[in-house]
Amino acid sequence: MIAILGAGSMGRLWAAALPAGQVAFVPRPAQPGGQLSYRFRPFHGPEYPVRIPWLMPSHRPSLLLVATKAGDSLPALANTLPVLPADTPIVLLQNGLGSQQQVAERWPDRPVLAATTTEGANRPEADLTVHAGQGETRVGALNAAAQNHVTEVVRALAASGLTVHAEPDILGPLWQKLVINAGINAFTAILNCPNGQILEQAFYQQWIDPLCREISRLLRAAGQQEQTPAALRRQIEAVAQKTATNTSSMRADVLAGRSTEIDFINGYLVRLGRQLGIETPVNQMLTERVQQLN
């Protein structure tokens, strides 16, 4: 059985896609048993009802998939891990960077893996989860304890029918996703528009080039694959065009009055810049503008 911590859009997508009877949601502390029911609209095919049980004390999951917001992962895991065997693989499926390293440092003896996905999911209604875009998920070890678990984790998640790959160096794909999120999400939240519409906005056009220059310098200093600002902009805009009608998770959080993951996306780049002695005024501005929306 796979246990899923976090019943937001992404958690519900994986729960619906995995084989029935082989998945359960981790309940909040003191939450009564039972099940979580919602409607699921797959990328292809008709909508159908989903009923996922809450994890019971008698369950012994083979894998814990963490689909909480980045800032919620540490406290959520602190409540959950004491009742799980020490060798249960933990797969972190968060946006941005920083939260994954925090978890690996907090529990160095547990097998901690990270995943990054281009699957898209949203919840246009409280009881409806939509698989809004097909993509792929990459999974890799974050610490030595997880190295021998990658193959089994990929096999377990691939039972969902979603495309899942093992990644020998997961930091590379995590950085790639971070670059895209840093160049799209904050703009969609500030401008309150779908992904594709940011490209037409003067605010985006004013700041995207200096933003890409900051990210390019950070990539080089952090030992990641060097990319020119122009190449970064092309990648960001290609994704924005491909997902033109999508609402980013950050915009959705702002509209719903939830906290965003800005501190682990542009905010992470600001903190990294301080550590490396690189100024990041555009990332700082975007972070502060989104924080003011909450």
Of the candidates 288, 291, 279, 272, which has an alpha carbon nearest to the alpha carbon of residue 96? Answer: 272
Question: In terms of domains, do 238 and 116 share one?
Answer: no
Question: In terms of domains, do 118 and 190 share one?
Answer: no
Question: In terms of domains, do 220 and 114 share one?
Answer: no
Whole-prediction pTM: 0.92
- Given a cut of 80, whether residue 32 has pLDDT beyond it is no
Question: In terms of domains, do 26 and 120 share one?
Answer: yes
102, 134, 168 - which closes a domain: 168
Question: In terms of domains, do 135 and 7 share one?
Answer: yes
Residues 6+ apart with CB under 8 A from 46: none
Q: What is the per-residue pLDDT across 177-186, written as a single tens digit (0 to 9) for each?
A: 999 999 999 9
Q: What is the per-residue pLDDT across 52-93, written as a single tens digit (0 to 9) for each?
A: 999 998 889 999 999 999 999 999 999 999 999 999 999 999
Confidence at residue 263, expressed as pLDDT on a 0 to 100 scale: 97
Question: In terms of domains, do 97 and 185 share one?
Answer: no
DSSP 23-61: EEEPPPTT--SSEEEEEEE-SSS--EEEEEEBPPTT---
Q: Any idea what the CATH number is for the domain that residue 160 is in?
A: 3.40.50.720
Question: In terms of domains, do 163 and 188 share one?
Answer: no
124, 141, 168 - which closes a domain: 168
Question: In terms of domains, do 134 and 240 share one?
Answer: no
Q: Any idea what the CATH number is for the domain that residue 241 is in?
A: 1.10.1040.10
Domain that holds residue 276: 172-293
153, 168, 183 - which closes a domain: 168
Question: In terms of domains, do 32 and 152 share one?
Answer: yes
Question: In terms of domains, do 176 and 127 share one?
Answer: no
CA–CA distance, 15 with 155 (Å, rounded to integer): 16
Catalytic site positions: 177
User: What burial letters (b/e) apply to 123-150, b meaning 16+ CB within 10 Å?
Assistant: beeeeebbbbeeeebbbbbbbebbeebb
Q: What is the per-residue pLDDT across 110-163, written as a single tens digit (0 to 9) for each?
A: 999 999 999 989 898 999 999 988 999 999 999 999 999 999 999 999 999 999
Q: How many domains does the chain have?
A: 2
